[in-house]
Amino acid sequence: MKKGNKGHILVVDDERSMREMLEIFLGREGYEVAGCASAADAMTVMEKGPPFDLVISDINMPGLTGLDLLRQIHEASPDIPVIMITAYGSPDSAVEAMKLGAVDYITKPFRIEEVKARISAAVERRKLAEENVQLHRLLKEQFSFENVVGKSAGMRKVFDVIRRVGPMDSTVVITGESGTGKEVIARALHHHGGERKGPFVSVNCGALVETLLESELFGHRKGAFTGADSDRQGLFETAEGGTLFLDEITETSGALQVKLLRAIQEREVVPVGGSAPVHVKVRIVVATNRDLGQEVQSGRFREDLFYRLNVIHIEVPPLRERREDIALLVDHFLGRLAERQSRTLSSVSPEAMRFLMDYGYPGNVRELENIVERAVALSEADVLTPDLLPETVLRSPAPPPLSDPAFREGGTLDTLVDAYEKNLIEDALQRAGGNRTKAAALLGVTFRSFRYRLKKYGITEDEP
């Protein structure tokens, strides 16, 4: 057995020369290899030993055949890929092996380089599947909060605010670019509200004309206007005991802002066409993709309403500033789509993930979700590959680290280059799962050179 770190492979062949040749070759390639002369021995080894990343088995063996072994492996450990070795001129055996679940087959005599490529692809696929399972578990356990996904520093701050103010009744302002998931944050606040038993009610203030929006929010009395054939309860009352989410709050008129201010201050609303106020107990959460402070300065938003609303402020960072969340979000969307559609993707190829990591996402999380949903709709396999991504993603150059202070505040050529190099190194480490050797390979530099740069920029990563 030759020890390595690229994967654990079991070779099963009754021909000693073939078995030993593969053991030696694979050991030199960096794999940890075990060999068995029969299918029965292989099953014993698999039951006792650590899990294998790949099994390579000859089909024609005395006693239990390779196909028998394939059936047992598929029944006991269906996630372990199996490559079958067939004799020249045995197409029926190869077809049968593929029907039973083999991921590939090799025909004797074979070229060693061809075998190398097929083994590498099978092991990589196994590792991607394992990483996907681990990522999904990690996503549920550590980086998901009431359907909000992220592990970046910016999102951890958001989680912290939700935990602390969720049970309170304080008014909250959520700001962030379009598509960052402000309503998802609002729903998380609502569901983290402890004893809050009322509903979550959402209204887009920019989607309705002023007169209709006023009636929607405050309700109306019979005869208040043409078509008002009966009294109607407004959304403030509908959300009693719960949360009223006012999206695009800056799209409201000055007149409506006065009425909103009164409703929030007095905890009561006056229906359109009515005179008697109606008491309401509801938490107000508002959102906007604009700078509220600038809106106040320009006179488009009332200063008194701004201060009444801006008790708690949550800023949702754009996706380009939290790239470490992209892989988590992709897995989250794949899992959610799996519940709605029969056709699913179980993993993402390294090449596709690189494109997804490098894209700028002007539409933020909403755009990423659409990209993943498109890939699922177009897929015919279980791996998300680059051909399933839109041209805008494939043609987009890697963006500069605009969130780095050196780029925001200016600097010399040396500081800008250093900032960009540091960003590339951190990105490579992220894509390599913290593995320094893999990260160095991704950047095309030696491990020694990569380690020097880690020290230069004060980046500390433990080898997984």
DSSP string of 206-233?
TSS-HHHHHHHHH-B-TTSSTT--S-B-
Q: How far apart, in whole angstroms, are the C-alpha atoms of residue 285 and residue 91?
A: 66
By the 8 A CB rule, do 219 and 264 touch? no
User: How many alpha carbons fall within 13 Å on the CB side of residue 101?
Assistant: 19
CATH hierarchy code of domain 153-315: 3.40.50.300
Q: Which two tokens stand for residue 153?
A: 């520093």
Q: Which is it for the CA torsion 119, 124, 127, 129, positive or negative?
A: negative
Long-range contacts of 110-116 (CB under 8 A, 24+ apart): 110/85, 112/25, 115/22, 115/25, 116/25, 116/29
Chain centroid, CA 139 distance in Å: 8
Letter string b/e over residues 346-375, b meaning 16 or more CB atoms within 10 A of that residue's CB: bbbbeebbbbbbbbbbebbbebbbebbbeb
236/278 Cα distance (integer angstroms): 10
What is this structure's pTM? Answer: 0.59
Per DSSP bridges, beta strands 243-247 and 200-204 are parallel
Q: Are 39 and 61 in contact (CB under 8 A)?
A: yes
| 8-139 topology per CATH | Rossmann fold (3.40.50)
User: Which CATH code of 3.40.50.970, 1.20.1090.10, 3.10.580.10, 1.10.10.60 fits the domain covering 405-456?
Assistant: 1.10.10.60
Angle at which helix 413-431 crosses helix 436-443, to 10 degrees, equals: 120
- Helix, strand, coil in percent for the chain, rounding step 5: 50, 15, 35
The CATH class of 319-390 is mainly alpha
∠ Cα 41 47 49 (to 5°): 95
Give 37: exposed, middle or buried? Use CB within 10 Å, 0-12, 13-18, 19+: middle
Mean pLDDT for each 10-residue chunk of the chain (464 residues)?
69 92 91 93 88 92 92 87 82 83 85 84 77 57 65 89 90 95 92 78 90 88 76 89 94 93 92 86 94 93 94 94 89 80 72 87 94 89 88 72 49 62 78 79 78 82 48
pLDDT given for residue 273 in this prediction: 84
Residue 135: per-residue pLDDT: 56
Q: Give residue 364's pLDDT.
A: 94
**Structure tokens, 280:** 């309401």
pLDDT attached to residue 2? 42
Q: Where are the domains of the chain?
A: 8-139, 153-315, 319-390, 405-456
Do 153-315 and 405-456 fold alike per CATH? no
